[in-house]
């Protein structure tokens, strides 16, 4: 089990100036993921729920890195000059790394290796590399939440390629099958 506490997660949000809309999204993903964990556990499948929830709460910690531009209208909060400077620098400095890899790198350095792994694996193209249920749950829960609303997989992935949609539907089937049996 990881030592990361709720207060540490809150501190990470502050440290990395996570926009409020991104926090809202992560909170909803964590909620969806937690409910999924409960269903798996009810089926007698061992799941590290605490780990899943923490990873879900951190999966988009560095989301800003992949923003093409800062859409301040979407960030419904009071934006300080420090926020703006932090976000702009982040976007400038990390053009070569995606938000999942960067967050995983930081969490790894700080000793949260298992959380880091789940965070890394939530990135869209990691779908072929998902092995554990914990990885699959965090990945899938994220793909069921658009902004802070739970939606169907097809709605959330409207802009994805046909191939990606196919893989996602397959993952959904795999999860539903286990929960139904």
Q: Binding of Fe ion at residue 127 (CB under 5 A)? A: no
Least distance from Fe ion to the Cβ atom of residue 3, Å: 24
- CA gyration radius, the chain: 16
Residues 43-62 that bind Fe ion (CB under 5 A): 60
Say if strands 145-146 and 149-150 run parallel, antiparallel, or are unpaired.
Answer: antiparallel
Burial letters 142-155, b for 16+ CB under 10 A, else e = bbbbeeeeeeebee
Length of the chain: 181
To Fe ion, the closest distance from the beta carbon of 143 in angstroms equals 8
Taking CB under 5 A as the criterion, the residue among 142, 144, 156, 168 binding Fe ion is: 142
Closest separation in Å from C-beta 78 to Fe ion: 23
Query: Closer CB to Fe ion, residue 25 or residue 112?
Result: 25
| One character per residue 78-117, x = contact with Fe ion (rule: CB under 5 A) | ----------------------------------------
Write the CA distances from 127 to 64, 90, 110, 168, integer angstroms: 22, 26, 26, 8
């Amino acid at each position: 089990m990881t030592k990361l506490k709720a207060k540490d997660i809150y501190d990470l949000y502050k440290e990395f100036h996570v926009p409020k809309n991104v926090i809202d999204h992560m909170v909803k993903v964590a909620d969806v993921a937690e409910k999924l964990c409960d269903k798996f556990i009810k089926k007698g499948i061992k799941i590290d729920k605490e780990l899943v929830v923490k990873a879900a709460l951190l999966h988009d910690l560095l989301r800003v890195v992949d923003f093409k531009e800062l859409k301040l209208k979407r960030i419904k909060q009071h934006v300080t000059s420090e926020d703006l400077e932090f976000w702009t620098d982040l976007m400038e400095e990390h053009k070569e790394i995606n938000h999942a890899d960067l967050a995983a790198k930081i969490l790894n350095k700080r000793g949260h290796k298992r959380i880091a792994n789940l965070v890394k694996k939530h990135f869209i193209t990691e779908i072929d590399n998902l092995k554990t249920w914990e990885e699959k749950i965090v990945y899938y829960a994220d793909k069921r939440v658009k902004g802070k609303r739970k939606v169907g997989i097809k709605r959330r992935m409207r802009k994805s390629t046909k191939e990606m949609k196919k893989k996602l539907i397959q993952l959904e089937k795999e999860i539903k099958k286990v929960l139904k049996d």
